[in-house]
Chain A
Amino acid sequence: MGNIVSLRKVAKRYTRGKEVVEVLHSLDLDIAEGDFVALMGPSGSGKTTLLNLIGGLDRPTEGEVIVAGEHIDRLSGAALARWRARHVGFVFQFYNLMPMLSAQANVELPLLLTHLSAAQRRANALTALTIVGLADRARHKPSELSGGQQQRVAIARALVADPTLLVCDEPTGDLDRRTADEILGLLQVLNREHGKTIIMVTHDPKAAEYARRQLHMDKGALVDGQQVS
């Protein structure tokens, strides 16, 4: 299978006043289609920065970012937004759901950008909620759901538009062990049975074990890769 993510000599620098901080140093990375990658490393090593570049939320200072066949470092803001809608599903540590919308409406949000009819949007959202095991909570607001349930809704939202790639930044960082295992099991099912490519940042070695491959970052560079399972 081909690579779905290719980073070539990617550098990211921030300028604070006169001081220039290089957060990523000339980084090369390939991720194959269908892979499940756990990205680990100490706080401040640049994991989120790297993930944001892959997900098209940010642009590199130098180098090329080719994801799903597109040079996304070259896309304009609007084109990049369209590209994200088409190719990437995001899951965050703190779920980031819309508090005033029901689970169903939250999951439907990405579909507003498609040409689907209202009925199709509803049906697809319900399917996504069924996949994450929350079909019976469709009408609930995020405040009426547990943390694990909210994260499932977030995963359903990330899935619903059938993206090429799932990008998760510490998806279990806010959950207890058992709930974390449920969420990680769900991600594993999505990877194994639905063929979703997943890149997940985590601090938790147990969580990383769910992935096929672990990557370690330190001070803005990848240290070594090891194959799991």
Chain B
Amino acid sequence: MKYFPLLWATLWRKKTRTIFTLLSIVVAFLLFGMLQGVNAAFQQGVNNANVNRLIVTSRISLTEPLPIAQKPLIEAVPGVAGIAYASWFGAYYQEQKNFVFATPVDIDDYLKVVPELKIAPDQVEALKRTRTGLIVGLDLLQKYGWKVGDRIPLHSTIWVKKDDGNSDWPFDIVGTYDFTTDRSQNNGALFNYSYFDEARTFGAGTIGWWIVSVRDPNQSAQIAAAIDKLFENSPDETKSQSEKEFAQSFLKQFGDINFIVQAILGAVFFTLLFLTGNTMMQAVRERIPELAVLKTLGFSDTKVTVLVLAESLLLCLIAAALGLLLASLLFPMLKDYIGAVKLPTSVLVSGAGIAVLLALATGGLPAWRAKRLVIVDALAGR
């Protein structure tokens, strides 16, 4: 594009000002990338949720246990294909910040209900043979440099062992799993419910929540209602939700992340709009005589308008590209907290879209002013 050198020279006319404007846009887009990345990672979890599954928790709260005796009753509900359970274990490794999502399961039930979870058959057998066996997600194994055969302690913040009154639970790593449909879940661990239930000081015979697979996802709502009806007015009333609803309400516990992210970004871009808009306006005001000369030379009103818009587009796109690049470099550092490794492409695409909108919004008024500029008045300084 032959106008590029002209655009480029114009953009860098006031170097310091351009650099500061550029930096503020870069920072805004860095923030945008990181926050939207986190948001998207959480939403990804919701979207990856399986529609074939229901999560049944206590009506009272997510952490309230349910009796294992409910199992045959739920199993008998028409449309239920399989049932498994899991429990909060509240584990960390060595230090409190090393949270590990480890849950006691009945491995056969669990694999039936969660078939996307892949474990080598001999390792499943090893888990069944080994009371203190632990199947570790591939990412978790890598994170701490564990190997199959290692004996490691996990500290439970909830459960104390009967025999020694200790909260450090020893485990023997007997295998690994790969959650093929959502690798962000590869940082958990599974172990034998039997070990857990026998060893803990209280709560025997209870589980944390049920995972129920249904034959027909279209029937999910009816089946959920039927399960809840089953335990109505019992001491252990339940709340059944699709895995998706569950993921969503689980997220809500931390606050409406989506809303918070949008609110912060809204404020940031609102400020940016005025900052950049003002800079652009100032730049155009200073250049009125030059714009008049361009028109004198035969540049049409439209061409001058496009040049001003293109300048603002150039500035916003360069800054957005830098900001998003930084964000995609920094984003993997959040892996431990949110599980996602790569800044989702959707964030980059929407970032580019926003950069264009920002350019049009901030360049619009100056461009309009440039278009309306009357040559003879501008030349005479009127």
Chain A positions near chain B (C-beta within 8 angstroms): 48, 52, 55, 57-58, 77-78, 81-86, 90, 92, 96, 98-101, 105, 109-110, 112-113, 118, 121, 157
Q: How far apart are A96's CB and chain B's nearest CB, in angstroms?
A: 5
Interface residues of B in 247-301 (CB under 8 A from A): 289-290, 293-301
Does B145 belong to the interface (CB within 8 Å)? no
- Contact partners of A110 in chain B: CB under 8 A: 297-298
Chain B positions near chain A (C-beta within 8 angstroms): 2-3, 5-6, 9-10, 12-13, 289-290, 293-302, 375-376, 379-380
Given the known inter-chain contacts A57-B376, A58-B375, A92-B379, please indicate yes or no for A101 contacting B298, CB distance below 8 A.
no
Closest to B289 in A: A96
Taking a contact as CB atoms under 8 Å apart, the answer to whether A101 and B6 are in contact is yes
Taking a contact as CB atoms under 8 Å apart, the answer to whether B301 and A105 are in contact is no
Taking a contact as CB atoms under 8 Å apart, the answer to whether B5 and A81 are in contact is no
Taking a contact as CB atoms under 8 Å apart, the answer to whether B299 and A90 are in contact is no
Contact of B6 among A48, A84, A105 (CB under 8 A): A105
- Contact partners of A86 in chain B: CB under 8 A: 298
**B contact face: mostly helix, strand, loop, or mixed:** helix
Q: How far is the CA of A110 from the CA of B6 in the complex (A)?
A: 12
Given the known inter-chain contacts A57-B375, A57-B376, A112-B2, please indicate yes or no for A100 contacting B297, CB distance below 8 A.
no
Taking a contact as CB atoms under 8 Å apart, the answer to whether B302 and A78 are in contact is yes
Residue of A57, A99, A121 most packed against chain B (CB within 10 A): A57
Q: List 24 A-B contacts (CB under 8 A).
A: A52-B375, A52-B376, A57-B375, A58-B376, A77-B301, A78-B302, A81-B295, A81-B298, A81-B299, A82-B298, A82-B300, A83-B298, A84-B296, A85-B297, A90-B296, A90-B297, A98-B9, A101-B9, A105-B5, A105-B6, A110-B297, A112-B2, A113-B299, A157-B297
Q: How far apart are B213's CB and chain A's nearest CB, in angstroms?
A: 66
Q: How far is the CA of A100 from the CA of B10 in the complex (A)?
A: 7
Taking a contact as CB atoms under 8 Å apart, the answer to whether B10 and A84 are in contact is no
Given the known inter-chain contacts A57-B375, A78-B302, A96-B289, please indicate yes or no for A109 contacting B297, CB distance below 8 A.
yes
Q: How far is the CA of A60 from the CA of B289 in the complex (A)?
A: 23
